[in-house]
DNA sequence: AGCTAAGTTGACGTCGACGTCAATGTCAAC
DNA sequence: GTTGACATTGACGTCGACGTCAACTTAGCT
C-alpha cells in the first residue's frame, strides 16, 4: 500500500470540480490599491474568526464576507475560494508562530533553536534546561493557537497544498532538533550511534502528538506536569539523564 | 481557550442540518432477515472501498450504493447517512485491529499487552525485547491499514462520535502502556518517581505520531530503522538503557 | 396458492452554497 | 471637475447531493 491519504485530489477543499468549465481567473495577485490591501486584511481576519468558530467545512464564504462587513461578491475579488483564503491565512499565521518559537531559544534542545553555541553551554545540565525551555514555549504556543492547529490538521486531511505546508512545518522543527542532537553528539553528550534524523522525528512526534491530544482531543493533563514529563523523557532518551536509572 | 476543535457540531459529518424538520427514523436496529444482514455487509464493504478511494468528504452515498450493487434508496434501509455508515465501519474495523495487536504480545512493553507476567520475564533485556515486538507489530498494523487510519483522523476532525472512538482507542493503548510501566516500576527496573500515566501518553504519542507522519503524511523512512529507533528511545527514556550514555 | 412483512427500486423534489455579472460607487490624477 | 481604472454590491442562475416515497419484488408462513 503506497503512502495514501483519502480525498487527496488536486483542487482545493472537498474536491468537487464545478461542472461548468469556465474558470475565472483566481486572484493570484495581491491587491493594487491601498484600500484593496485593507479589504484583504479584513477578509483574512474575518476568515480566521469564522473558521475557528465553525470549522473549515461548515464555514461558508457568505459568513466570512458578512463577518468582514463586505458583500458576498467582494470576497472573490481577493480570494478564489474558501480554500484559497484558508491557505493564505495559514501561511501567514504559521510564519508568525515560527518566529514566536525561534525567539527566546538559542540553539539546542527541542522544537526551537538557531544561534551559535554561546560557549559554556556544553554541559548536559544546560542542554536539559534548553530542552525544557523549548518544550514549555512550544506547549504555550500550541495552547494559545489551539483552534488554528485543529484547523490545520483538519484541512491537511484533504488539501494537498495545506498538507505540503504541514510537511514543511514539521521538517523545520525536525531540522532544528536534529541539529541540536548532532551538536550534543559532537560534544560527546549523546551516543554517537543514535540516528539523529529519526530520533528528532520521534521526539517531535512525541511532543506535538501529546500536546495535540491534550488540547485538540481534550485529554486530561496539567500543563506543568506535561512539560516536565516530556522534558524528562526527551532528555533521558538522549542519555542526558538527570535520573541515571532507578 | 477551552479545549477546542472546529466544526464540532452534534449531527454527523460536515454539520448542515437539513432545513426540513421531518426526521425519518434512522436505522439504529440491525436487519431482521438474513438477506438484510448480507446487504448490510455488502454496503459496509462497499463503503470501505469508496471511502479509501475517495476520502470521506468526496464519497457520495450514491457511489457506495453503486459499489455495493444496490439502488440508491436501499442504502437508507441500513444506514441513516454517510456518517452513520462510516461510524459502523470504523467501529467494526477498530475492534478487529485491537485484537490483532493484542495477540502475540504478552503484558508489558508497548502499544500492546494483556497477560500475567510469565515469570522469568523480569529483566530489562526481556522488557526491551517486548517493547520492540510491540512496536514492530504496531507499525505493521498501521502500514497495512494506512488508508483507514487516515480516514479515522479525517473524520475525527469534525464528527464528535468518531472523536470519541479515537479517544477511546488512544486510552486503551495508553492504559496498556501505563500498566506495563507500572509493572516495571514495581520490579525496580524503572524509576519510581516517573509519572506512568503521562509517560505512557507521551510514548504512545511518539510511536503513533511518527508512524502517522511516515505513512499518512508520506515521510521518508525505512521501517526497520524506524522500529529500531522508536524502541531505543522508548526503552532508554524509561531507563532500561542498553546504551548507558555514550 | 395466498397473504404479509420486509426489502428494493429509481425518479423526483428540495435545498443550500457557490460563483457571476451588470450596475453602481470611489478615488486619484490630470 | 471630468475621466477611467479599480472595487463594491447583491440578486440570480446553476448544480449536485441528499433523502423520500409509491409502486413493486421477495420470501417465509399457513
| CATH number of the structural domain spanning residue A44 | 1.10.10.60
Number of domains into which chain B is organized: 2
Q: Which of B58, B156, B191 sits opposite A15 (nearest CB)?
A: B58
pLDDT digits (tens, 9 = 90+) for B102-134: 866 554 455 554 444 454 467 888 999 999 999
Helical spans, DSSP H, in chain B: 34-58, 61-68, 72-78, 82-102, 124-144, 146-156, 160-186, 196-215, 223-238
Residue A122 has pLDDT above 60, yes or no: yes
Per-chain mean pLDDT for chain B: 85
Residue A112 has pLDDT above 70, yes or no: no
Q: Are residues B227 and B105 in the same domain?
A: yes
Q: What are the cell numbers at A7? A: 480525498
pLDDT digits (tens, 9 = 90+) for B145-161: 999 999 999 999 999 99
Count of CB pairs separated by less than 8 Å, A with B:
231
Whether the beta carbon of B39 falls within 7 A of nucleic chain C: the reply is: yes
CATH number, domain containing residue A106: 1.10.357.10
pLDDT band at residue A197 using 50, 70 and 90 as cut-offs: very high
pLDDT band at residue B8 using 50, 70 and 90 as cut-offs: very low
> Is residue B226 a part of any domain in this protein?
yes
- Amino acid A41: pLDDT: 93
- Amino acid A37: pLDDT: 82
Alpha carbon distance B173, B166 (integer Å):
11
Residue A1 has pLDDT above 60, yes or no: no
Q: How far is B80 from chain A (nearest CA, A)?
A: 20
Residue A107 has pLDDT above 60, yes or no: no
Residue A137 has pLDDT above 90, yes or no: yes
Alpha carbon distance A185, A198 (integer Å):
14
Question: A11 and B153 in contact (C-beta within 8 Å)?
Answer: no
pLDDT digits (tens, 9 = 90+) for B65-104: 999 999 999 999 999 999 999 999 999 999 889 888 886 6
> Is residue A8 a part of any domain in this protein?
no
Whether the beta carbon of A61 falls within 7 A of nucleic chain C: the reply is: yes
Check if the interface score ipTM surpasses 0.90.
no
Residues 86-125 of B with CB under 8 A from A: none
Q: Are residues B144 and B219 in the same domain?
A: yes
Residues of chain A in contact with residue B53, where contact means CB-CB under 8 angstroms, are 6
Question: B14 and A57 in contact (C-beta within 8 Å)?
Answer: yes
Report the phi/psi class of residue B191: left, alpha or beta, with left for phi > 0 and alpha for psi in -120 to 50.
beta
- Amino acid A95: pLDDT: 87
Residue A104 has pLDDT above 90, yes or no: no
Protein residue closest to D17, using CA and C1' = B60
Q: Which nucleotides of D are covered by protein (CB under 7 A)?
A: 6-12, 14-22, 27-28
A46 shares contact with chain B (CB less than 8 Å): no
Whether the beta carbon of B18 falls within 7 A of nucleic chain C: the reply is: yes
Domain boundary among A25, A51, A80: A80
Q: Which residue of B has its CA nearest to A185?
A: B246
> Is residue B14 a part of any domain in this protein?
no
Percent residues over pLDDT 90 in chain A: 69
Contact A217 B16 (CB under 8 A): no
Residues of chain B in contact with residue A48, where contact means CB-CB under 8 angstroms, are none
Cα four-point dihedral sign B169, B172, B178, B183? negative
Q: Are residues A45 and A136 in the same domain?
A: no
- Amino acid B34: pLDDT: 74
pLDDT digits (tens, 9 = 90+) for A14-39: 776 665 444 444 566 666 677 778 89
- Amino acid A89: pLDDT: 96
Residues of chain A in contact with residue B57, where contact means CB-CB under 8 angstroms, are 7, 13-15, 57, 158
**Average pLDDT over every residue of B11-21:** 60
- Amino acid A38: pLDDT: 86
Whether the beta carbon of A62 falls within 7 A of nucleic chain C: the reply is: yes
Contact A246 B188 (CB under 8 A): yes
- Encode burial over B124-156: b for 16+ CB neighbours within 10 A, e otherwise: bebbbbbbbbbbbbbbebbeebbbbbbbbbbbb
- Amino acid B152: pLDDT: 98
> Is residue A245 a part of any domain in this protein?
no
Question: A52 and A151 in contact (C-beta within 8 Å)?
Answer: yes
pLDDT digits (tens, 9 = 90+) for A217-235: 999 999 999 999 999 999 9
Q: Are residues B119 and B189 in the same domain?
A: yes
Q: Are residues B97 and B176 in the same domain?
A: yes
Domain boundary among B25, B54, B80: B80
pLDDT digits (tens, 9 = 90+) for A61-102: 999 999 999 999 999 999 999 999 999 999 999 988 988 887
Q: Are residues A74 and A134 in the same domain?
A: no
Q: Are residues A152 and A126 in the same domain?
A: yes
Q: Which residue of A has its CA nearest to B171?
A: A219
Q: Are residues B134 and B206 in the same domain?
A: yes
Its domain, for residue A141, covers 87-238
pLDDT band at residue B14 using 50, 70 and 90 as cut-offs: confident
B18 shares contact with chain A (CB less than 8 Å): no
**Average pLDDT over every residue of A152-181:** 97
- Amino acid A245: pLDDT: 44
Q: Are residues B168 and B211 in the same domain?
A: yes
Q: Which residue of B4, B9, B224 to mutate against A (max A Cβ within 10 Å)?
A: B4
Q: How far is A32 from chain B (nearest CA, A)?
A: 33
Residues in chain A: 246
- Amino acid B188: pLDDT: 93
Amino acid at each position: 500500500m503506497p503512502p495514501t491519504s483519502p480525498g487527496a485530489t488536486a483542487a482545493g477543499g472537498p474536491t468537487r470540480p464545478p461542472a461548468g468549465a469556465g474558470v475565472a481567473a483566481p486572484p493570484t495577485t495581491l491587491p493594487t490599491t491601498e484600500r484593496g490591501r485593507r479589504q484583504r486584511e479584513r477578509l483574512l481576519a474575518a476568515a480566521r474568526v469564522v473558521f475557528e468558530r465553525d470549522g473549515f467545512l461548515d464555514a461558508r464564504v457568505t459568513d466570512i464576507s458578512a463577518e468582514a462587513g463586505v458583500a458576498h461578491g467582494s470576497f472573490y475579488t481577493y480570494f478564489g475560494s474558501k480554500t484559497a483564503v484558508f491557505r493564505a491565512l495559514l501561511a501567514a499565521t504559521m510564519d508568525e508562530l515560527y518566529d514566536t518559537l525561534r525567539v527566546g531559544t538559542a540553539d539546542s534542545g527541542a522544537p526551537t533553536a538557531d544561534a551559535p553555541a554561546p560557549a559554556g553551554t556544553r554541559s548536559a545540565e544546560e542542554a536539559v534546561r534548553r530542552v525544557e525551555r523549548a518544550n514549555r514555549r512550544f506547549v504555550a504556543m500550541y495552547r494559545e493557537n489551539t483552534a488554528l492547529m485543529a484547523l490545520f490538521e483538519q484541512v491537511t486531511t484533504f488539501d494537498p497544498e495545506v498538507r505540503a505546508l504541514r510537511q514543511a512545518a514539521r521538517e523545520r522543527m525536525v531540522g532544528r532538533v536534529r541539529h541540536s542532537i548532532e551538536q550534543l553528539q559532537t560534544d560527546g553528550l549523546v551516543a554517537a550511534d543514535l540516528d539523529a534524523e529519526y530520533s528528532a522525528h520521534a521526539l517531535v512526534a512525541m511532543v506535538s502528538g501529546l500536546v495535540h491530544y491534550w488540547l485538540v482531543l481534550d485529554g486530561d493533563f496539567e500543563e506543568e506536569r506535561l512539560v516536565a514529563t516530556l522534558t524528562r523523557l526527551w532528555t533521558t532518551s538522549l542519555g542526558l539523564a538527570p535520573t541515571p536509572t532507578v
